[in-house]
Amino acid sequence: MAKVQLSLLKFALKAVASHEDCLEVAYTVAHSPLVKTALFAADANWGRILAAVGRSNITHLKADEVNIYLGEVCIVSRGELDERYTEAAGSAQMAKDNIVVTIEIGNNDTQESVWTTDLSYEYIKINAEYRT
């Protein structure tokens, strides 16, 4: 039996207009193959996360209202790379087994969370070797 080591990633959405919009953004980001592969590579690729946020199906999204955190480290502020962000800080967060990415959009009180895993070589190999 194959053993697969997975990293767990929690997306916490805050301040989005509604719970439905929170979940829409969270699932869009959590299901993104590019975000999952960045997680596997321990790559704090803020562009992939922000692009996935932008792909979500919410109509009132404004990039300048988006803030993204890896743990306590702000990587995106108002839709752009945070000027205080360092690769060392991002790498330290991505090296953890369990990572929390917090995405804030707007200034409402809503919150939702979803969990996902990385997309590793082993995962692809296991799922490519059998038919259902």
The answer to the question of residue 1 being in a domain is no
In a domain, 69, yes or no: yes
Tell whether 103 is covered by a domain.
yes
2 assigned to some structural domain: no
Asked if the model's pLDDT at residue 3 lies above 60, the reply is: no
- Domain with 103, as residue range(s), is 8-128
| Residue 75's CATH number | 3.10.20.340
Specify if 3 maps to a domain. no
Q: Please give the tally of structural domains in the chain.
A: 1
In this prediction, residue 99 has a pLDDT band, given cuts at 50, 70 and 90, of confident
Work out the pLDDT band at 113, boundaries 50, 70, 90.
confident
- Tell me, yes or no, whether 16 lies in a domain: yes
Model confidence, pTM: 0.85
**pLDDT attached to residue 91:** 94
pLDDT in tens, 38-88: 988 989 999 999 999 999 998 888 899 899 999 999 999 999 999 999 999
Average pLDDT over residues 91-97: 89
- Sheet containing 98-105: order of strands: 80-81, 73-77, 66-70, 98-105, 8-14, 111-117
